[in-house]
Amino acid sequence: MGTFRVTVSKDYLVFSSAHFITLRGHTCESLHGHNYRVAVTVEGPIDSECLFVIDFAILKQVVRRYVDQVDHRVLLPTRNSKLAFREEGDTTYVEYFGVQTYQFPTRDCAMIPIANTTAEMIAEWIAIGVRDDLRAGGAQLSFLQIEVEESFGQVASYSETLPSRTDHKTGDPDANE
Ligand SMILES: [Zn+2]
C-alpha cells in the first residue's frame, strides 16, 4: 500500500525579510536580507469522500499566516541568549552582549520565539505553527515538512512524523475524550 503526499510551493509563499545570525563566540553577521521561499509537504490518509490528503486551499491559507507575519520585516529571535530586546515608544532596540547594536521601528519587526534566525529555525517555527493549526482544524496528518529556501539553491528543512490520533470513527466507541 502506498502513501499520498502533497506539496505546495507557490509564489505567494515567499517573504522578504532582513535578519542577522549570531555565530560562534562573539561573532555576529551584519544585517542583510533574503527573499525566502517556503514549501510545505504533508502526508496523511486519503479523505474517503473528497479523495485528497488535504484541501490545497486550506494548506495554502495556513502556511500563508506565518509568511505574512514575517514578510517585509526584520526577523528578531526572542530566544537568543546573546541578544536582548527593548521596546521604547515606537522603537525596538537590539542589544548584542549588552551593547546596543540596532534600533528598528517596532512595526517593522517580527519577534519570533526561536534562538537564531537560521533557515532551519524558521522552518521549525513555521512547521510547528502549521502542524498545530491543521490539527486544530481536524486534519489527520502523519508527516509534515517545511522547507525554507534562503537564497537560490540553499534550502533548510524541518520535518516531523506525527503520531496518528485516535478519533471517534476509528477509536473505541465507548471512549470519551
Ligand atoms: Zn542571511
Q: Does 102 fall in a domain? A: no
Picking from 24-28, 87-91, 100-104, which range would have the lowest pLDDT averaged per residue?
A: 24-28
DSSP string, 31-46: PEEEEEEEEEEEE-PP
* Separation of CA 148 and ligand 1 centre (Å): 12
| pLDDT of 165 | 66
Q: Does 166 fall in a domain? A: no
Higher local confidence (pLDDT), 1 or 174: 1
Examine the pLDDT at 149 and tell me if it is beyond 80.
Answer: yes
| pLDDT of 175 | 45
Quick one: pLDDT band at residue 166, thresholds 50, 70, 90?
A: low
CATH number, domain of 50, equals: 3.30.479.10
* Separation of CA 62 and ligand 1 centre (Å): 25
Q: What is the pTM of this model?
A: 0.90
Q: Does 16 fall in a domain? A: yes
Q: Does 71 fall in a domain? A: yes
Higher local confidence (pLDDT), 176 or 127: 127
* Separation of CA 131 and ligand 1 centre (Å): 25
CA–centroid distance for 6 within its chain: 18
Picking from 24-28, 39-43, 58-62, 72-76, which range would have the lowest pLDDT averaged per residue?
A: 24-28
- Residue with the three cell numbers 528543512: 157
Picking from 23-27, 79-83, 147-151, which range would have the lowest pLDDT averaged per residue?
A: 23-27
Q: Does 62 fall in a domain? A: yes
Q: Domain of 130?
A: 5-81+116-161
What is the pLDDT averaged over residues 144-168?
Answer: 89
Q: Does 35 fall in a domain? A: yes
* Separation of CA 152 and ligand 1 centre (Å): 12
Q: Does 146 fall in a domain? A: yes
Q: Does 98 fall in a domain? A: no
CB 103 within 8 A of CB 40: no
| pLDDT of 167 | 53
The dihedral over CA atoms of 139, 68, 145, 29, expressed in degrees to the nearest 10, equals -160
Examine the pLDDT at 171 and tell me if it is beyond 50.
Answer: no
**How many distinct structural domains can be found in the chain?**
1
* Separation of CA 30 and ligand 1 centre (Å): 9
> Which residues make beta-bridge pairs with 86?
93
